[in-house]
Structure 1
Amino acid sequence: MRDDIARFIDHLTVAGRSPHTLAGYRADLETLTGQLQPKTLAEAQAIDLRKALAQQHARGLGSRSLARRLSAWRQFYQWLQHSGQREDNPASALRAPKRDKLLPKALPVDGAAALLDRIEGDDELDARDRAIFELVYSCGLRLSETVGLNLQDVDFSDQLLRIRGKGGKERLAPIGAEAMRRLQTWLAQRQAAADEPALFTGRHGRRLGGRQIEKRLRDWAIKTGASQHVHPHMLRHSFASHLLQSSGDLRAVQELLGHANLSSTQIYTALDFQHLAKVYDQAHPRARQAPAKPDTDEDS
């Protein structure tokens, strides 16, 4: 069957698949060959492939990798069908396990405060950066929402921010005192073209782009000694997680984030539970109590 694998790879090569894809498919099929022994690839039935998939899952292979391997198997057996070596495709009805749901990464409360407090400098762009990231953290903004903000979206009298979210939906969010103070500092230094409505502008006086914001936060995180890569969406996740930890009000967090469905917000309850579990382990007097030694006194 190794000859069949070689011919299949030749077929994919002619079809223009990348060397990386070819190497991955070859490895996936050779792994399957080892699992099926003494059967060959051509003799395998759906139950054999299902067993091989389950074994790989049990060994810790992630859902993404399993889906890729299953795709390689399907294409191989489809090629065997077209070349007249099989009448069926035993992989056609198989499904990979559901993709692992990755929890959003959030900074701890003190980590978010430490990062923001260290964004300081004499340049007006330093003041702008502090205002941007304080506002993102204060209002739970998406990157696209931050980029799209205009001067008229800030209500200084009521300390509210009008946000245009996904699908053009608008929402209002309160602006925290520190974010408001940093906004006022930035606007006192803001230099923009006369026809530029953007709240945040670059050196040329035009609207700041998302890539620039991402780069500035990455650079600040490195300068301030952050222990992990920090991106703007992490500040949004931190906003949601910290607000939920303090209030426990899932509906309010949903409204502030601009989520259409509560299910999108519920992922933060997992982060909140992780926080509570950690607090419990550290604080509860019996959380980590050592097991009692067995009593050996015969008279007891």
Structure 2
Amino acid sequence: MNAAGPLRTDDDAGLVAAYLEHVRVGKRLAERTVALYTEDLRKLAGFAREAGVALPQVQMHHVRRWIAQMHSGGRSPRGIALVLSGWRGFYTWLARQGITQHHPVRDVRAPKAGKPLPKALAVDDAVRLAEHTQADDHPGLEARDACITELLYGCGLRIGELVGLDVAASASARGWIDLDAGEAHVLGKGCKRRSVPVGRAALAALRRWLEARTAWAGGDAALFIGQRGQRLTPQHIRVRLKRRSLQAGLTTPVHPHMLRHSFASHVLQSSGDLRAVQELLGHANIGTTQVYTRLDFQHLAQVYDAAHPRARGGPGKS
């Protein structure tokens, strides 16, 4: 009940107003939250009006249909989840008031949000990062960071695989690079070993780093070390790569896994061979690799939008 007397079950506007007064005064919700609830309930009342049904008589099939309309209209799964939360509170309150005997929103869920695409650099940006020279750095640091960049982008290594590399093969080595064969042998997820080809640019960068490394080498067998001879940590590499990307003029700070995504996307764009990319990345399931086909499609869509006469906005435009 409210101060004005019994609520009329045939007055949708009155029910909405009474509920908003309840959350504003009774629950003392912030004005911003009340404003959001107001908008959500106006949308609900509009849907109900179009369907010719009073709010207390709304059924689950109505709610599902309205969710589908919002989703097809471009509303995000997260946005729909927030709307449903507002509707759910409204119908919980109606039930407590004895106005409705059912709850049409209780078991309804928002559409699942699609997994976000992994972030990959444009080819030009990846090449710019790889070719960048940090002139203000110690030559040894520059050689090391350049080699790290080339291996992450040129081989698609995970950061754990990279920091696990040793200078030479041994029974205890988690990974190493065979310069003569041009192959990196790494220990990936699930303790699975795989071999990855190392390109000419990465091999040249590795030779430069090995020459500079001799001045730093201590007792650690690690390929990538700091000036005191200790094996680099993943965090250290993240910081150095971010710094390098900003100095190279890239608008997006780069992290190691972004280079792995860029490697996969660029190889797929050039070859179209999904199975080969799966092997190079060390994915046990090709479904994991298929996300890069979406990146590849985005690239093709951008090329189409930029080049096709029928994609440029109408007659006479070029």
With the length of structure 2 as denominator, give the TM-score of the two structures: 0.72
- Following the alignment from structure 2 to structure 1, what is the Cα–Cα distance between the partners of residues 309 and 44? 52
Does residue 220 (structure 1) correspond to residue 220 (structure 2)? The answer is no
CA offset at residue 171 of structure 1? 0.9
- Following the alignment from structure 1 to structure 2, what is the Cα–Cα distance between the partners of residues 179 and 112? 14
- Following the alignment from structure 1 to structure 2, what is the Cα–Cα distance between the partners of residues 143 and 84? 59
Partner of 1:97: 111
Partner of 2:44: 36
Contact 2:88 2:106 in 1 (8 A): yes
Q: 1:245 to 1:51 in 2, by over 3 A?
A: closer
Q: Which amino acid aligns with 2:226?
A: G
Q: 1:132 aligns with which of 125, 129, 148?
A: 148
Partner of 2:7: none
Partner of 1:231: 255
Does residue 144 (structure 1) correspond to residue 160 (structure 2)? The answer is yes
Q: 1:163 aligns with which of 170, 186, 190?
A: 186
- Extract unaligned runs of 5+ from structure 1: 14-21, 293-300
Does residue 2 (structure 1) correspond to residue 10 (structure 2)? The answer is no
Name which one, 1 or 2, has greater alpha-carbon Rg: 2
- Extract unaligned runs of 5+ from structure 2: 1-18, 49-53, 170-175
How many residues are aligned here? 281
Q: 1:61 to 1:207 in 2, by over 3 A?
A: farther
SS of residue paired to 1:215: helix
Can you list the C-alpha shifts for 1:146-188, whole angstroms capped at 9, x where unaligned? 2333333122221211122222221110111111121122222
Q: Which amino acid aligns with 1:260?
A: A
Q: 1:150 to 1:81 in 2, by over 3 A?
A: farther
CA offset at residue 42 of structure 1? 6.8
CA offset at residue 259 of structure 1? 1.0
Aligned-residue RMSD, C-alpha: 3.6
Does residue 107 (structure 1) correspond to residue 121 (structure 2)? The answer is yes
Partner of 1:298: none
SS of residue paired to 1:189: helix
Specify which structure has the bigger relative contact order, considering alpha-carbon pairs within 8 angstroms and separated by 6 or more residues.
1
Contact 1:119 1:129 in 2 (8 A): no
Does residue 62 (structure 1) correspond to residue 76 (structure 2)? The answer is yes
Q: Percent identity?
A: 46
SS of residue paired to 2:212: coil
Partner of 2:235: 211
- Following the alignment from structure 1 to structure 2, what is the Cα–Cα distance between the partners of residues 139 and 176? 8
CA offset at residue 82 of structure 1? 8.4
Matches within 5 A, 1:7-18: none
Q: 1:139 to 1:289 in 2, by over 3 A?
A: same
- Following the alignment from structure 2 to structure 1, what is the Cα–Cα distance between the partners of residues 161 and 92? 45
- Following the alignment from structure 2 to structure 1, what is the Cα–Cα distance between the partners of residues 36 and 62? 15
Q: 1:260 to 1:67 in 2, by over 3 A?
A: farther
CA offset at residue 113 of structure 1? 1.2
Q: 1:197 to 1:280 in 2, by over 3 A?
A: same
SS of residue paired to 1:200: coil
Q: Which amino acid aligns with 1:112?
A: A
Contact 1:251 1:262 in 2 (8 A): yes
